[in-house]
Structure 1
């Protein structure tokens, strides 16, 4: 699991081109909702060290978040072969994250 948000956004086409499961997380390091969700996200991602996880710092003027219609942080988008399969917005427990992870894993 990636631990820090990056300001280096991957291109939309590179995300759409990923084969297999991947997760894109939008948020900000100073966001209290994002900070509160990190232990839940870490719990859900336990044992999934090989899963591509892109942790993107979002905000004004950041086009990738707008392309994915992100309105609240954190938003985790679960992809399978570049297609959105599930989305979790401001998770309050690890369970919805674990369900979404199972969904992208089951799609293989």
Structure 2
């Protein structure tokens, strides 16, 4: 199990551990380097939440994702009040590999 104090520590370490794709959210899919990926083909392997130092409402979440074809990458989204409606709808379609992956 990993513990990180900052968002940048988490993303840097995940990159070192092979999570090198930088995913973004589109209307109904994940996007990386102009390619679209179906959400249902991915699992959340690890998940971390962070609060902003100056504003507790400034929340972010980091998801380490793995696809069914071996793709590994990171998705960073807002969390809580700062979460987008689109993000919440897509994230509901992602499954956690196991409950121990929630930090």
Same fold (TM over 0.5): no
More helix by share: 1
- Relative contact order (alpha carbons < 8 A, sep ≥ 6): 1 or 2 greater? 1
More strand by share: 2
> TM-score, length-normalised on structure 1?
0.31
> TM-score, length-normalised on structure 2?
0.32
